[in-house]
Amino acid sequence: MQRKTRIIHYSVSALSWAAFILSSVRLAAVYPSLPRRIGIHFGPDGAFDIFDDKGWAFYPYAVALGGLLLFELLSFLAVRARAGKNTAPGGRTDVLSKETVLFLLDVFKPVFALFFAGEWADCVLRQRPMNTALGRAGLCVAFGSLFAAAAVLITLKIASARKKAAGKEKS
């Protein structure tokens, strides 16, 4: 992996985790002043549709933490994966690029952190509806990033299987 790619990758990771940590510090500061029952989930119109004990204020942070850990795991696997070569009929060679996979993961990491630990958490802490276009677009991108993460995992698995198959054919 190139030095420039590593610098970008680690910088994006650091910024994503910094946003999550700063937002978590904000939760700790605001938590005592929250009402006993708070809105924690939004309906299609952006208004709260589920209310529960204020202990559930951690919910968007748990989702953000889970997403960040998933993206870090996938990044680790992408770096450790060996680029597989598959020679298709006609002599075409496909090579999985680690840099491309890392770039895809690095695009979604801060979006995921900023939406769940940022926009959604802010709405819960301020008890304001998420009826903004930014909130709706963020939700689509955040959940779309989960599908992208699944695609990356599948791509890594396919590349690994192709490499094993190519190794068996040579034997």
More confident residue, 70 or 135: 70
Q: Give residue 145's domain range.
A: 3-170
Q: What is the pLDDT of residue 28?
A: 94
Q: Is the pLDDT of residue 164 over 80?
A: no
Q: What is the pLDDT of residue 143?
A: 66
More confident residue, 25 or 170: 25
Q: Give the whole-angstrom CA distance, residue 141 versus residue 107.
A: 11
CB 108 within 8 A of CB 12: no
Q: What is the pLDDT of residue 146?
A: 67
CB 64 within 8 A of CB 45: no
Average the pLDDT over each of 39-43, 67-71, 120-124, 136-140 and give the range with the smallest value. Answer: 136-140
Q: What is the pLDDT of residue 88?
A: 45
How many structural domains are present in the chain? 1
Q: Give the whole-angstrom CA distance, residue 102 versus residue 115.
A: 20
162, two tokens: 């192709």
